Structure 1
């Protein structure tokens, strides 16, 4: 069967006009034909390459690899694909290439000639180098970030352990001062001395409250969280006691209650008292003094909730996410506190398997604990 002349012209065109270099070699590796593309890459002409061995255009390493690996592979498999080699240009420069080859054989299996396609690999090598460089940079950045996180964790752990020890060690001297003031209070005192003792005892209670906050903060941050003792509790009595205490401490603030706790509640009474006290104190600090604060509680077979509502300016939306972070205080709050009240309330809520939600509008702000 003869090949049509038009088809033969297409073969010629494909051999010459392509983005790849093309070679036809004898089974022994002598170049029978090279296209203009490959010759141009090597700063040669096809005529310069014809009749010469392929090894002459390879680096020393490429020659060794061709003789020891590629030639035997071609004899055994009849082809190979995408082998990286370096060719040498007329001026001695190295040209990285990818070579694909197939050995054409006769019907009885004897090799006739070798077709070889050569692709420039400079762009691929540059890409792989950039990829390796970027991977190294990523590994280095990850290692640096990991070291930073370890340092931060160690610093945070030491800081929180220091706070825990500090809070614990403050209790003993404060207890001694409290006992001394109680003893003095039972003595015969004039009005001025009684006033001083009263002020001192108020300061002791305040300091004890700050220490309790520090200890709760440390327990919440050191992994175990705040411990709770869940049992059936008269939640109504707990909340009324909290309201009574804060009403006495803030006689000019009206606090209303709306309690419907017909279903028994299981919780840690003292911790819920602390949660409610913190929410109520927050409402007293930030709410409008002209409008009563409302403490509402409900219970059902599914759980219970406690809500504290106050009027006053709405909490800015950008501040809502950080309300329950430790040491967070608004510009309008008293600078005497540590900014731990809402954080501790949220930790108590978590310890009960619940959470505190906040809704704030121009009409009212409500903190609702559900468990």
Structure 2
């Protein structure tokens, strides 16, 4: 007999509990920069994507409030009906100018943008070749498109070439994260661009975690690799990471962008971003372009964290970006570390499968321009204390408590 859905859901929940993989939401009641009040306790957050510290910057917030007073709270319709406002147009032009592309197109989120790009460009007999550690939205996008999906070993450009050669004489896209969200490392974009050109494939880079942080003027991993729109015809930039806002845009070749605007289902069939949100993003982009000190502070924070971790005997994964993972391996032990850090006033994400591969559970530290040297040093001292406590056997109780509140 086919199992009923409630029974299946209960069985899957029980399995997650047994594997220390239950996830629950935490309620943030107040936020002040990198400090957050959670369940009545103030914590210093090292799990936010607000890399440049723009989410609460007064100019960004003022732009949001002023536009809301003028245009209201909602987008009211899709862009192609009557939801496309002048501020949307201004934001698209600013993003295109910043990233050196002819055009940009706004989407409701990075996830929707990835779904839209792949679905609009690839058909059932086409090929989408992806890095094995690409973001879930790129994987889901290929499934939505119904195309052939081939994945290559992480950062393996020769593997990408082999996969592109495996299905010749068909439309092909080579898609990769620019900065990988769980590892913090950077794709070999110059090699991938060469492969895409030789194999007549379209290179698409999801630079959600690179734009604002890497490259000249914060233009991202594509600019850092000294590539332009001729090599990378389409690039994703999210507005909710380094820019501290919400939404996303695809920038690139004018003809491809026009095609997306007319055929990408997640663009056509959804309400436009609220104009006030677009105004906040526009203010954030202008700040990110001109306030280079934010990236300088961020780079200094990353260097201090890595140096301090090494001095305390921690071997971080290879990353020069704000994403600094510490591989633990065991799910329950990873939770124990996170709980021990929270007990000392720090909020750090315990990342477990299926977000990362089996046996690769980790603490994912993320740095911000708002973190002070004292914040970083205190976190590292707390991490060293947590290791000692767990090594001495105190971690069992922490793990049990963490599993119950994960």
TM-score norm. by structure 2 comes to 0.19
More contact order relative to length (CA 8 Å, sep ≥ 6): 2
Q: Which has the higher strand share?
A: 1
* Greater C-alpha Rg: 1
